[in-house]
Structure 1
């Protein structure tokens, strides 16, 4: 998968966001983080487009 439909791992997402893993999991627990997909094997993936849309929705006007 390429582009906006690319599925990112949690490691990929936290590298893009530059936040600790614990912060990402906290956001997931509170349901205030980017949309994610839990696979049947328990792994979590985040669509790149969902991560970028979530990030954009949290931008503040500078």
Structure 2
């Protein structure tokens, strides 16, 4: 099964195991994966942006 290219915020939160409030605090500090706002106001994260963010987190932890 291929992974979706655009993830809903709920899917991102499940994958990174984080609450919505904690995610928005991290986003306010500029530390969250890049988000895109759709014309209907919903937020999405591109799979490649989330994967790149994971890589940066791993590099910073090392």
- Regarding TM over 0.5, the answer is yes
1:25 alignment partner in structure 2: 24
Deviations 1:41-60 (A, max 9, x none): 11000001101110110112
TM-score w.r.t. the length of structure 1 is: 0.81
**How many pairs does the alignment contain?**
59
TM-score w.r.t. the length of structure 2 is: 0.81
Structure 2: 5+ residue runs without aligned partners?
none
Q: For residues 22 and 41 of structure 2, what CA distance do their matches in structure 1 show?
A: 19
List structure 1 segments (4+ residues) > 6 angstroms apart after TM superposition.
Answer: none
